[in-house]
A and B are shown apart, each in its own frame.
Chain A
């Protein structure tokens, strides 16, 4: 084989390799983007279908419930305009409590409940998820 041919084949191999890699990378990028929404946005139907997303809000006071001895927790997440019942099976973060701003990751089921696979609370008691107002202001709005 002539060196010229060798170089040509090498070049084609590189181009194909880079193209394939970019395709997979972009694909994975698209698949792993997590949208962040507030409850009102979810109610308005902005949530992606069949895909996990994140929802931020406050844990509504007196909404927390858990059966004795069970890992499944149930609470309501609200932004003052809309509210969703959230189910989560597992250990809640140390900072989780009623009135606290948190972010949940998961998807809606057919009943319209949010099934969370992850509950995030920040290591800051005064943390507010993006676009969420504190409880006092929320009450004025209601």
Chain B
């Protein structure tokens, strides 16, 4: 009974989102007298989806295996918290969550008070576009991936949730990442609505806050995913250039460009067309991400689900939404004022860096899609390896990072006179800090590493400098704080990535019980391996002692877990970490003769890779919750 209610609610949501679009876009009446109805419809369709998710969750909790999706993804032994997380553990449910979050953004937009008399048509039309996107994807769920489909005869016991997914970080990773993906639908809708209504820069100021919010979720989602991959996928990598990771990085790069471009459009009334285009591309890349993950067209560790029909449907949706948006763009876009640009003015530097960000996204896109295209052409099966990405990403990134530092000191409309004098000091400081780190703290590794470390400090120090340059007036600091934090976060991430990749040590080794081996300066000793028991798994636990200069600093316990006799074991790594370095041990197989294979790692400054995004997020939060309200109060 409950699943049927969920099913009916999906249909209610479908109908109301369609109405939301049709009335909102003005098919019924051109004027905006019916806007209240449209906003309420968006609330109706979102609540219907919410209750549908609750229905699914309830069916999970009572172990209703007559529902196919639940029989496939849950069983009675699963802890309750993971029964809830199992809602988005596979394709159908995760898509339901995706759409619900989309509709929630629509509701927030509907009841936003940031619109004035001039922009209320913009608001109505953008809510209509949100309705259209929702409609398309609810149709997709009902047509190809209904989570409420019944199974008859139904089994006594369900299949287990993939044990990889039974992890707190992964339980919250998809909702956060999805919130970011679908959040980009708001700037998209505002851009489209702007094209069909007032068609000027006014949408930019509104879209900016939404874009930053979506960007925050994307940043958090990507960082969480990378962290999860590091400790859970077993082998201590934190980025694999897997198609699914690329699918989240591309919208992030373009959304980052969009955030910066919107500033220029809002404040200088420039680059309106470019901002609109970026908004369209950012959301299209989110859709492409959904397609890549869900169609199973790629050989990827992430494709738990695959179905060609779904792939075709999503591809068609991307075609309609993106294609439609681009045609509209081509027909309607009005170029902003023509103005000659000063080469070192803030707007030129921002434009330049947005181009670099987009090039980075394009290079990743080529590497991700090329194997697909070759396969479609029947020209064989290939894949593009991580070395490609690691190498080509440097071309846009090195200049990008250099210009980020310059941009901080630039001013609108003109080449700043003070620029050179401030830059001198920052440049000198970054050079000293970078060279000391690259040559003295660590040993010289390569020119590229040294440049990378110097550029990391360059970003970091130039990000910090506006805070100190201003004469400690609270109002000035609060204005530059978001940018500062975001750039400091980026600098830390670059530092972490460069140092870890250049100075990290990774190898496999066979150790007898009682034997030890050296990883950098650290000595790892395999003490014993015992059987143990967890709440829903059996495990084999190794005890590894780590010492430095003869002094014991930690004991860690890497494990091999078996959740279910029929499925393979899971590797749970042992990690000892602080801000300076990570020490990592994963337990391999028993090799006979009391020896075991172990995967050992020493990774200096690894934590910075996740600390960086955290500080970037902090910057975004300050922008939304402090800077904006406070500057309004103070002016």
Contacts and interface: CB of A to CB of B under 8 A. Distances in A.
B304 A32 contact: no
B593 interface: yes
A54 interface: yes
Interface string A79-108: 000000000011111110100000100000
Nearest to A92: B589
B392 A25 contact: yes
A91 B568 contact: no
A131 to B, nearest CB: 8
Given A35-B381, A94-B570, A68 B388 contact: no
Count chain B CB atoms within 10 A of each CB in A29, A93, A103, A125 and give the residue with the most: A29
Contact of B591 (A24, A28, A32, A68): A68
Nearest to B597: A91
A70 B301 contact: no
Interface string B559-600: 010000001111100000000000000101101110101110
A5 to B, nearest CB: 15
B139 interface: no
Interface in B398-451: none
Contacts of B382: 33-36
A32 B162 contact: no
B384 A32 contact: yes
A122 interface: yes
B154 interface: no
Given A24-B395, A36-B381, A36-B382, A71 B387 contact: no
Contacts of B599: 91
Contact of B597 (A21, A71, A130): A71
B531 to A, nearest CB: 17
A66 B570 CA distance: 21
Given A69-B593, A97-B568, A33 B395 contact: no
A37 B304 CA distance: 23
A91 B586 contact: yes
Contacts of A69: 510, 512, 591-593, 595
B591 A71 contact: yes
A89 to B, nearest CB: 7
Nearest to A54: B383
Contacts of A97: 568
B380 A35 contact: yes
A36 B588 CA distance: 27
A37 B301 CA distance: 19
B567 A125 contact: yes
Nearest to A95: B568
A28 B592 contact: no
A81 B392 CA distance: 39
A94 B381 contact: no
B341 interface: no
A1 to B, nearest CB: 15
B509 interface: yes
Interface in B364-398: 366-367, 370, 380-385, 387-388, 391-392, 395
B5 interface: no
Nearest to A66: B591
A123 interface: yes
B110 to A, nearest CB: 40
B301 A123 contact: yes
B544 to A, nearest CB: 15
Contacts of B392: 24-25, 28-29
B553 interface: no
A124 interface: yes
Interface string A43-63: 000000000001000000000
Interface in A7-23: 21
10 contacts: A29-B392, A34-B382, A35-B380, A69-B593, A94-B560, A122-B299, A124-B304, A125-B568, A130-B381, A131-B381
Top 4 A-B residue pairs of the complex, sorted by shortest distance between their CB atoms: A91-B588, A36-B381, A32-B388, A68-B592
